[in-house]
Chain A
């Protein structure tokens, strides 16, 4: 069998890739995609734990996380649209009027 730690390890790698992506990508949408990737990494952890434990709780949690991700996607994209309307750009590095 594939050990649990493999799943968790994969999840950790995906989470890491997502986390790194958030701060090296400049396109707001890509950043958002990376965040989604992180959420999915967590989901993998939850699902695999749930599966190995034989406990349904983890999968229900994932179900809820997906809902949240959907909601977040809706609002996040709305924010991106709204900012694009004003700035005609998706580059987050240009959005730095508030600082120091």
Chain B
């Protein structure tokens, strides 16, 4: 199925290129936009493993909501361009290549033996197909009921936290 591989390679290349672009850009705004590129290509890759729901959520929530929040903050803070770019410990950047190389090598060493090449046959009934809204919804309110509920605590807490930090003095 060479076209699937081509498709994978295209999105993978986009994802990696955008990811690298995050590092290469000086401006956080462009970095954020690059990240969105990665997110979108990931979303496409999700589809290739039949994770439709997550792919959608990736676009809607991640690329949509979260990244917008980022960009909003970037705009809000509006860091002056002429700010001197102090860099202490310049040596760190030279660690990037060896560290990255080592990490990728280690990961590949681990992942190399994995020989799973076929996705399970998707049954015709969406109720049994993994990745559909149905199956995810079902699992969310059965198996993952508690985590799901607990996320509400998390979000509430984050709300309170963000509020208390970000509001101006005297509020």
Contacts and interface: CB of A to CB of B under 8 A. Distances in A.
Contact of B136 (A21, A24, A30, A60): A60
Contacts of B83: 89, 91
A73 B35 contact: no
Dominant SS among interface residues on chain B: helix
A32 B89 CA distance: 20
Nearest to A55: B130
Interface string B76-101: 11010001011111001101100110
B8 A20 contact: no
A16 B103 contact: yes
Contact of B28 (A2, A12, A29, A55): A29
B114 A75 contact: no
B5 A2 contact: yes
Contact of A75 (B15, B92, B103, B161): B161
Dominant SS among interface residues on chain A: helix
B147 interface: yes
A75 B147 contact: no
B53 A33 contact: no
A91 B86 contact: yes
Interface residues of B, number: 86
Given A36-B66, A67-B151, A47 B54 contact: yes
A54 B120 contact: yes
B158 to A, nearest CB: 3
B165 A78 contact: yes
B54 A21 contact: no
Interface string A9-26: 110111111111101111
Contacts of A93: 86-89
Interface in B47-96: 48-51, 53-54, 57-58, 61-62, 65-66, 69-70, 73-74, 76-77, 79, 83, 85-89, 92-93, 95-96
Interface of B: 1, 4-5, 8, 12, 15-16, 19-20, 22-23, 25, 28, 31-32, 35, 38-39, 42, 45-46, 48-51, 53-54, 57-58, 61-62, 65-66, 69-70, 73-74, 76-77, 79, 83, 85-89, 92-93, 95-96, 99-100, 103-104, 107-108, 111-112, 114-120, 130-131, 135-136, 139-140, 143-144, 147-148, 151, 154-155, 157-159, 161-163, 165-166
Interface of A: 1-10, 12-21, 23-27, 29-30, 32-34, 36-37, 40, 43-44, 47-48, 50-57, 59-60, 62-64, 66-75, 77-82, 84, 89-91, 93-94, 96
